[in-house]
Chain A
């Protein structure tokens, strides 16, 4: 057994762990990152999932909104993002997708009979911006209290918006702002990504999800990482190692001692390393397991992701938009307000929703660099389908393979309901003749990435501020990364404000360490 001592050990080489490592190493601390897998990046990785197909897909996470420019600049990370020209396209399920709502430089509310909602839609998001623009800069600062956050929002002119965005179920604001079922659905989906909830829930978990989907950069733009999500993690890893951090892959941590010892196996050897601080870039449940403590109950995940490789974009029934317009932003399928509600009820009763609410994003329209020259020239595209309201509890009803088959076919059927040709007709085949489809269920995320019950946020999202009576005595508490142990801090999505590919969890953990 080899032994060693460093200032900080980071358990988990996902992008947040790399950000924390880079900040701490830049500050002169000795840092060792321990990653179980053979590569870093966690859920922010790109790879070649289809045999013989030269396309490097973002396998899990795929868009970037919450990564502050400041972190990129501080670390000198070479990360480039592409802005999508269109915000979204939503085919109308009531006519099988023969018409649809395009939102972007030239929106088409009239095409779905919702011209009267265009002004209310715009005003809704203008008011949301009064909240998000005031709160966004605070995400990389010590936590504000609710009262302080409220004052900041009111100062930005967001008194009313605070009320309906932070204090009341989001359903009320959406149904007041617009009347059309389809338009309401487009607005509602941001509240339900990876979050199994009704829009009128008093818990407001849907409001928190909505806030984090709109707060990025203060504008809520979701951009495409050039080169895929793997390029983001590679840039973070390069920054970390460039500043002197040590990254060990294939290092399976199996125990953490609250006094600062971390035990891991690497290449069949046992290792123990002592550290002043341990940053846990794992879920709170995984951390508890490593500490030998009772695991906290975490909210389970509720999504399925399907990656497709296409010979070309499919034809649409709606002839008023081109596939490039429709797939150029987020493509919503069967996500009207009523459909979302019905899907929730079906899933809560234990069934895969029919139709399954889905949204699609096409990476290669914004960034074709992930394709080989020949695939690009042939007109090939990648497509990512993200299915909502597929809670982890569905895993109780079938074997992993069968559930994956059921969810994948539900995704394809939902997609086909608005296309002019079956999606199967344009799915590429790999070198052995297999269709280029891969699906990732909540169980897959748990198995492959250690995301407990497949929750992509490592548990339910928290407000980006604390209640007025919550303690803020220690640096870890002030930065939202505290655990029950002084030496151990959260540094991933499980920390407060840490969800999505943002680096904020890693940044804030590093700041807490440096503040001590």
Chain B
């Protein structure tokens, strides 16, 4: 039941808790791709750092989280703050001038899925709905990272 939430933490958080996920390094990649992928990587780091606390809290609880619990409430609040910034950063990356559509599209898609998580946190949804949204974020994360890799960046 809680797998997707946990996977989200894993996908976003591999190494994120201790530092940046990766930095984009030029490998004959277009400069706009490097800039966008670097910025997108920052969005992933930020999302991971801030959302994982909330994900951990609800993963340990009931199917319907107790939002009156101070721990849940606090994690919800800080998680939303971070995700909000992450979404903004990802959207900004997707709008990098000259960025190829195959890079911009998965970044925009990731931002859309992360907005859904943000919405669910605000609406105090149940774990099942978080799992579905988290699975989508994971998929979009992989798609964006694959696109960045194929463009020759390491973000």
Do A and B interact?
Answer: yes
A413 sits at the interface (CB 8 A)? yes
Q: Mark B94-129, 1 if CB is under 8 A from A, else 0.
A: 010000000000001101110110111011110001
Which of A96, A405, A425, A432 contacts B119, CB < 8 Å?
A: A405
- Contact A406:B122 (CB < 8 A) given known A354-B108, A422-B84: no
Interface residue ranges of A398-435 to B (CB < 8 Å): 401-402, 405-406, 408-410, 412-413, 416-417, 422, 424-425, 427, 432-435
Is A437 located at the chain interface by the 8 A CB criterion? yes
A402-B129 CB under 8 A given contacts A354-B112, A410-B112 = yes
Of all chain A residues, the one with the shortest Cβ separation from B109 is A354
Q: B124 contacts A96, CB within 8 Å? A: no
- A413 & B115 in contact (Cβ 8 Å cutoff): yes
Interface string of B130-145 (1 = CB under 8 A from A): 0011000000000000
B112 touches A437 (CB 8 A): no
Which A residue's beta carbon lies closest to that of B112?
A413
Q: Measuring CB to CB, which residues of chain A are less than 8 angstroms from any residue of chain B?
A: 96, 354, 401-402, 405-406, 408-410, 412-413, 416-417, 422, 424-425, 427, 432-435, 437
A405 & B73 in contact (Cβ 8 Å cutoff): no
User: Chain B residue with minimal CB distance to A408?
Assistant: B119
Assess whether A435 is in contact with B88, with CB atoms less than 8 Å apart.
no
Smallest CB separation, B39 vs chain A (Å) = 16
Decide: A434 near B122, CB < 8 A? Known: A354-B108, A354-B109, A402-B129: yes
What residues on A are CB-neighbors of B116 within 8 Å? 405-406, 408-409
| Candidates B80, B91, B95, B115; contact of A409 at CB < 8 Å | B115
Q: Which residues of A are found within 8 Å of B84, using beta-carbon distances? A: 422, 424-425
| Chain A nearest CB, measured from B123 CB (Å) | 6
14 intermolecular pairs with C-beta atoms under 8 Å apart: A354-B112, A401-B129, A405-B120, A405-B125, A406-B116, A409-B115, A409-B118, A409-B119, A416-B91, A417-B91, A422-B84, A424-B84, A434-B123, A435-B122
Q: CA separation between A245 and B37, bound complex, in Å? A: 67
B87 within 8 A of A: yes
Give Cα A96 to B95, complex, Å: 9
* Top 8 A-B residue pairs of the complex, sorted by shortest distance between their CB atoms: A435-B122, A409-B116, A409-B115, A413-B112, A413-B115, A409-B119, A434-B124, A402-B132
Are A433 and B124 in contact, CB atoms less than 8 angstroms apart?
yes
Which parts of B9-57 form the interface with A (CB within 8 Å)? Answer: none
- New A-B pairs, 19, CB < 8 Å, besides A405-B120, A422-B87, A432-B124: A354-B112, A405-B119, A405-B132, A408-B116, A409-B112, A409-B118, A409-B119, A413-B111, A416-B115, A417-B91, A422-B84, A424-B118, A432-B67, A433-B73, A434-B124, A435-B119, A437-B119, A437-B122, A437-B123
Chain B residue at minimal CB-CB distance from A438: B123
Q: How far is the CA of A408 from the CA of B121 in the complex (A)?
A: 13
Verify B88–A422 contact, CB threshold 8 A: yes
Which B residues are CB-close (under 8 A) to A433? Answer: 67, 73, 124
Among B91, B115, B125, B133, the most chain A Cβ lie within 10 Å of the Cβ of B115
**B108 cross-chain contacts in A, Cβ below 8 A:** 354
Distance between Cα atoms of A369 and B124 in the complex (Å): 30
Would you call A405 and B118 a contact (CB within 8 A)? Answer: no
Are B120 and A427 interface neighbours, CB within 8 A? Answer: no
- Taking CB as reference atom, which chain B residue is nearest A421? B88
Chain A residues within an 8 Å CB radius of B120: 405
B-side contacts of A427, CB under 8 Å: 122
A422 to B80, CA, bound (A): 12
A280 to chain B, nearest CB (A): 37
Instruction: List B contacts of A410 (CB < 8 A).
Output: 112
Cα distance A422–B88 when bound, in Å? Answer: 8
A416 to B114, CA, bound (A): 13
Quote the shortest CB–CB distance from B86 to chain A (angstroms). Answer: 11
Give Cα distance in the complex from A282 to B119, angstroms. Answer: 34
Q: In the assembled complex, which residues on chain B have CB atoms less than 8 Å from the CB atom of A408? A: 116, 119
In the complex, how many angstroms separate the beta carbon of A142 from the nearest chain B beta carbon? 50
The CA-CA distance from A422 to B82 in the complex, in Å, is 13
Residues on the B chain within 8 Å of A437, using CB: 119, 122-123
**Separation of A354 and B95 alpha carbons in the complex (Å):** 14
CA–CA, A21 to B87, complex, Å?
Answer: 52
Question: Chain B contacts of A354 at CB under 8 A?
Answer: 108-109, 112
Residues of chain A within 8 A (CB-CB) of B80 are: 424
Contacts of B132 in A (CB 8 A): 402, 405
B68 CB to nearest A CB, Å: 8
